[in-house]
Amino acid sequence: MWIYDSFEGLPEKSDKDRSALGVDFQKGVLVVTKREVKERFLRAGLPVPVIKKGWFADLTEMDLPEKIAFAFLDGDLYESIKDSLTLVGPKMSSGGVMLVHDYNNSALPGVAKAVNEWMQGKDLELRVLGSLMAIELK
Ligand SMILES: C[S@@+](CC[C@H](N)C(=O)[O-])C[C@H]1O[C@@H](n2cnc3c(N)ncnc32)[C@H](O)[C@@H]1O
């Protein structure tokens, strides 16, 4: 398992993220530390994953595993989800699944915008599960 996060909370919103319902999702909110994440795995008796600190926009394909079977994308904002899909999408195995959190969350409209743009012209199986979008790669 690999985890990627700024550990500095959310970055600045873009115009695509503006929503009257999303006023709480400001730059710097939702901060946790790398240590807190590690401790949660240890307390649960689970192996500690590879944890990479950084902004998604600064990651390259070298920072990711060669092939990915399952990815959970939870970056809340347009640029964050766009960057995640650009990095993770090409690494997905055939039959692999990406779950995108907040696809149906009207407080975070940038998520659906990034997903809808990215999936144009691609052969994918899509399923909306509550606030999640499940994308299966063919
Ligand atoms: C809603 S939280 C989800 C965290 C985790 N999935 C969970 O459920 O506890 C969103 C996380 O995305 C991170 N994040 C959002 N945009 C990012 C970006 N562009 N680069 C790095 N981290 C980002 C934030 O730091 C925050 O920890």
Which string of DSSP letters, residue by residue, matches 49-71? PEEEES-GGG--GGGS-S-EEEE
Does the pLDDT of residue 138 top 90, yes or no?
Answer: no
Atom number, ligand 1, closest to the C-alpha of residue 57: 19
> How many angstroms is it from 124 CA to the middle of ligand 1?
25
Please tell me if the CB atom of residue 104 comes closer than 6 angstroms to any atom of ligand 1: no
Please tell me if the CB atom of residue 136 comes closer than 6 angstroms to any atom of ligand 1: no
Does the pLDDT of residue 26 top 90, yes or no?
Answer: yes
How many Cβ atoms from other residues are within 10 Å of residue 94's Cβ? 9
Domain boundaries, the chain: 2-137
Percent of the chain's residues with pLDDT above 90:
97
Closest of 116, 114, 110 to residue 14, by C-alpha:
110
How many Cβ atoms from other residues are within 10 Å of residue 20's Cβ? 7
* CATH superfamily of the 2-137 domain: Vaccinia Virus protein VP39 (3.40.50.150)
> How many angstroms is it from 30 CA to the middle of ligand 1?
7
76-112 pLDDT tens trace? 999 999 999 999 999 999 999 999 999 999 999 999 9
Please tell me if the CB atom of residue 102 comes closer than 6 angstroms to any atom of ligand 1: no
Does the pLDDT of residue 71 top 90, yes or no?
Answer: yes
Does the pLDDT of residue 57 top 90, yes or no?
Answer: yes
